[in-house]
Amino acid sequence: MNIFALISKGIHFFKQHPLYKGVIAYIFFAMLLYFSINHTFPIMVRYGVLVLFLGVGGSFFKTFLDRFIHLSYWCLYPLSMAFFILSVSLSAGIPLVFYRYSPFIFSLFVSVPFLLRCVVKDSDPNCAPLETGKDDSVPVFRVPVKKMVVAVLISGIVTVLFFFFARTGEHILHPWQVVHPLALWAFAVMTVLVVVVIFSQASLRIAFFLIIVHSLVLHAYLPIVYDSGFGGDRWRHIASERYLLTGEIYEPGLIGEDAISTKKIFSMTIPEVFIAGNKTSYAPQWALTIFFHRVTGISVEDVDQWIVPLLWFWFVPMIMYSIGKVLFQEKRWALLCAFIPSMFFPYQVYGSITIAVGIGQMMFLFIVYFLLQYIHTKNISFAKMSVFLTLLHYFSYILHLFLGGIGVILAGCLGWVYAKKHKAWLYVFCVLCFVLFIILIPLSEYIFGFSTFQFEKLYPQTLVLSAADAFGRLTNIVGYNHYGSYIGEGNFLYEANRLPKSSASFLRWPYWPMILSLIVYGMAGIGWVLALKKKSSRQWKFIALFCGILGASYFISWFLMDGYHTLARRLDLSIALFVGLLFLYGARWIIHRFSFPLLYKERGGGGILTAHNILILFIIGISFVTLSTYASGPILDRVTTDELSAAEYLWAELPSIVSDSNQYCVLANTWPLLAVESVSAREVIGGGFPVYTEYAQPERVKLFEKMSQHPNQKLLERALAVTTAKTCFYMTEYRFINRRVYTETVKLLGAPEKTFGDVLIWRYVSRL
């Protein structure tokens, strides 16, 4: 009896302890997920486990986030589920970094976020400030809400249908080559209606629902239009994920290797895996893709194509609305914060593809929110959460570890300055920190060998030219053509490229990007100046200073350094975030300044430049800017369905001709070789040719270009010599060769061994 009483007391104590729910959920789901990942359960059971896993995880994290974010249940629960999924990506990526993919170990780490419940007591106080509920000082449009909702849904459906009609696996440089111009007209109608509803008498739920629908349609264009997927990095990641699924260690590793690879840092020898930024940055993406692939049975390609867009379209508006509530007391401006990322090209494109910087940016938005709340409330709990999430970014995209660190210290400096205004040393320390923040990213690129300083560019004349070039790119006065080798960067609002894109006539005027960029950045500049004034809140000073730091870092890296700019080129999302917020701050000030009539008609007392009329102009303006940036790109080459079929054929043939060796030779363009790398699970990288920094392959590129102009046996023998292979496949396409080159190639190698649409494949065996 005493034993049972003791057991009963133990169970009662365990139930009262915060460990109870977290540990029970962790053990329960670790077991269920292990059997699901191993495909022990039938497919429908696995889907049920996934729904239960996400549902319970969202509920657990709601209990946690409820202490920090004051939102209605319908908004907080989805936000909590998104936070839970992002946490899963971080925890599940840890074994992939240090060890390898093992279903049992992977299941244990996937369930780790449930243990966060162990540190939250049900009695913990809510530290999130209550909603102010202050009325807006801007006009409200009286509109038929139900009809507006129906119109938004219809225009959204029409837009998506046009995307499906345009779906293609052929070679295109941008989606608007194949999407019907009416799609942009339908999207324009949808955008205007959504912004009007934001400033109408419609309820918060209805307005927010339409913002989410608009975001879904906006980010659907790339996954739908591109049949075999968009971009090149996608195929490298799929190759890595397939390689990990084989159970091999993605080198460098820490556990399970006979010899651990090491590096020297400041005379200290440490395992290389601790500074392998490519592994820690990409591991969350790999883990998330592998998890959903194994549980659902959906192919790795399809999971990769949809996982981030399906998370981004509702998460980003929700967290931006939360940020808007901290920055603006008016509900409508907070709602506009949820919409404003859709106006900027980086958020349009990176929210439509699965890429590591996008996953890192979503978690970084949480850090920004917690820092703003800390500055606003001075509650140390927000600072602790910011520091905690920043440290977690060691296992996420490395850039956001730097950005989180800058944000945490910057918020601390602001607090110290306001708390101790007369300490001279404190001001000196803060200024030094500000300078250090500016050079942190360029200096990191220099240390890691991504870029080198060009000291000759520090001369006054050269600095003026660099500043003029930066201004020209920022405002789109200066454009450039990159012809699909990478996504255009340097403008933050547009796809910075002069190639014609939209087939809609009203968007083809070449001066729209320049005019609209000047207006948007002009209003953001007004917001930046206002934010730095004494009257503005500390939150806005934080936004303005952070934006200034990132802008200066970007300028130093791009215009005073030479190299790959690996970190700076990924700042587009963060700079666009702060520019967008400052744009709203400037726009709000302008609209509120016109809250009284300035110009009157000769008869009657009605004003022309009233807040109402200015607001109408503002709604039309941001709608048109959104449409114009949306139609500006992205311009990027792709892997076609024919190239993917050719890659699958090559991988079926290659193992039979290389026997036990790994000496492969595939002479081809870069993009189909990415498909070969993917289908071979990293067995054939770069066609077997040497790969240098940032995937450079000068030998292969030169040989392929010469074969596309004057094919001869010496070039093929040179390819065999470089790859040390005995047989080489030559793969080209009709768009790379003319009739003369084709005829000469047939004389040299005979008829193509295999053709897939426009893709031609020859096999060459050494004749020497």
Q: What is the pLDDT of residues 657-690, one digit of tens each?
A: 776 566 899 999 999 999 999 999 999 999 999 9
- Taking residues 138-164, what's their average pLDDT? 91
What pLDDT digit, counting tens, does each position of 76-122 carry?
889 999 999 999 999 999 999 999 999 999 999 999 998 876 665 54
pLDDT the model gives residue 12 = 59
pLDDT band at 138 (very low <50, low <70, confident <90, very high): low
Strands 561-563 and 451-453: antiparallel
User: Ramachandran region of residue 98, left (φ > 0), alpha (ψ -120 to 50) or beta?
Assistant: alpha
Q: Could you identify the residue written with the tokens 């690996």?
A: 566
Measure the N-to-C terminal CA separation of the chain; round to a whole number of Å.
91
What is the model's pLDDT at position 96?
A: 93
Interatomic CA distance for residues 695 and 685, integer angstroms = 10
pLDDT at 605 (0 to 100): 45
| Residue environment code for 286-318, b if the CB has 16+ CB neighbours within 10 A, otherwise e | bbbbbbbbbbeebebbebbbbbbbbbbbbbbbb
| pLDDT tens-place string over residues 716-759 | 999 999 998 889 999 999 999 999 999 999 999 999 999 999 99
Q: Within 99-125, where are the H helices? A: 103-110
- Can you tell me the distance from the alpha carbon of 218 to that of 167, in angstroms, rounded to the nearest whole number? 15
**Angstrom distance (rounded) from CA 166 to CA 169:** 10
pLDDT tier at 405 (50, 70, 90 boundaries)? very high
- CA distances to 136, 156, 581, 625, 680 from 192, in Å: 20, 12, 20, 11, 47
- The reported pLDDT for the residue numbered 565 is 83
In one-letter notation, the amino acid at residue 388 is: F
Q: Which amino acid is at 627?
A: L
CA–CA gap between residue 488 and residue 472 (Å, rounded): 14
Whole-angstrom distance, CA of residue 528 vs CA of residue 548:
9
Has residue 9 got a pLDDT over 80?
no
CB atoms within 10 A of CB 687: 29
User: Which range is least confidently modeled, 135-139, 184-188, 444-448, 687-691?
Assistant: 135-139
Q: How far apart are CA 240 and CA 464, in angstroms?
A: 44
How does 6-20 read in b/e, with b if 16+ C-beta sit within 10 Å?
eeeeeeeeeeeeeee
| H or E segment and range at residue 453 | strand 451-453
What mean pLDDT comes out for the span 420-442?
Answer: 80
As a whole number of angstroms, the distance between CA 756 and CA 669 comes to: 15
Q: pTM here?
A: 0.91
CA distance 384 to 68: 11
User: What percent of the chain has a predicted confidence (pLDDT) above 70?
Assistant: 87
3-state SS, residue 342 = helix
Helix axes 19-37, 277-296, angle to 10 degrees: 70
Radius of gyration of the chain (CA): 28
